[in-house]
């Protein structure tokens, strides 16, 4: 594996990469599922890395999607203050110049900003949220849009992701490399995998292992 991942720009997923919102988000979705008399296990299994509207549309008739999406978005906003930072995220983000980084999320803009603020992560100059693209992850649109906002080609960018949908989106966009965050990304086709953002550093022209630490291989059998 390469010792470093060259990058003209860095594109961050938010939930699971920069912030830990899992408990708060799942509590909101559980409440929503109970209200709609849905199997909570099935609902929770399908929310990660996907826009709320697309999850809602899997379970409810088309004429109920708009109000039900507004409902879950409000529930998630109510719990946003419970969000905490992924280890090392604030320091790592702050080390990268603002014009070289973007956050790319399946959440709404309001929810993404609320979670970042609650976790103490520097707010991005460039943010691609659910409402900014016609098609969300795993379609390539979000990461293509983020690269465009930063004036870079996708091939010049490194993406940091933690979900299958997000990794598929990054690959479909043609990014230069994908760095998986957390054990859940092993075997999902990442170029490298780390447990959190204390394990990497910004070099000025890419992402490299932090001093004295190694970036684990991504184990890329999936094609």
Instruction: Assess whether the previous peptide bond of 138 is cis (omega < 30° from 0).
Output: yes
Residue 11: both structure tokens together: 């594109």
Which of 13, 20, 73, 191 is flagged as catalytic?
Answer: 13
DSSP 122: P
The SS3 call for residue 155 is: helix
* Residue 6: both structure tokens together: 């060259």
Would you call 125 a catalytic residue per the annotation?
Answer: no
Selecting among 15, 73, 162, 191, the annotated active-site residue is 15
CB atoms within 10 A of CB 64: 14
The question of whether 15 is a catalytic residue gets the answer yes
The number of residues making up the chain comes to 223
Tokens representing 177 are 């490399």
**CB–CB of 186/42 below 8 Å?**
no
Q: How far is it, in rounded angstroms, from Cα 28 to Cα 53?
A: 14
Distance CA 77, CA 72 (A): 9
DSSP 156: G
Q: Which residues are catalytic?
A: 13, 15
């Amino acid at each position: 594996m390469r010792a470093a991942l060259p990058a003209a720009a860095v594109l961050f997923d938010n939930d699971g990469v920069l912030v830990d919102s899992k408990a708060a988000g799942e509590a909101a979705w559980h409440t929503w599922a109970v209200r709609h008399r849905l199997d909570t296990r099935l609902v929770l299994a399908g929310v990660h890395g996907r826009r709320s509207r697309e999850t809602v549309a899997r379970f409810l008739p088309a004429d109920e999607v708009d109000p039900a999406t507004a409902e879950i978005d409000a529930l998630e906003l109510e719990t946003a203050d419970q969000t905490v930072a992924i280890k090392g995220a604030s320091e790592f983000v702050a080390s990268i110049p603002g014009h070289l980084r973007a956050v790319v999320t399946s959440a709404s803009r309001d929810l993404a900003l609320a979670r970042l603020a609650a976790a103490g992560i520097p707010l991005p100059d460039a943010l691609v949220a659910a409402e900014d693209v016609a098609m969300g992850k795993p379609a390539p649109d979000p990461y293509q849009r983020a690269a465009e906002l930063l004036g870079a080609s996708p091939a010049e960018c490194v993406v940091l992701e933690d979900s299958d949908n997000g990794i598929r989106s990054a690959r479909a966009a043609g990014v230069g490399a994908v760095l998986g965050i957390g054990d859940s990304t092993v075997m999902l086709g990442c170029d490298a995998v780390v447990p959190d953002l204390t394990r990497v550093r910004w070099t000025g022209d890419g992402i490299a292992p932090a001093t004295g630490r190694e970036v684990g291989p991504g184990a890329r059998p999936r094609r």
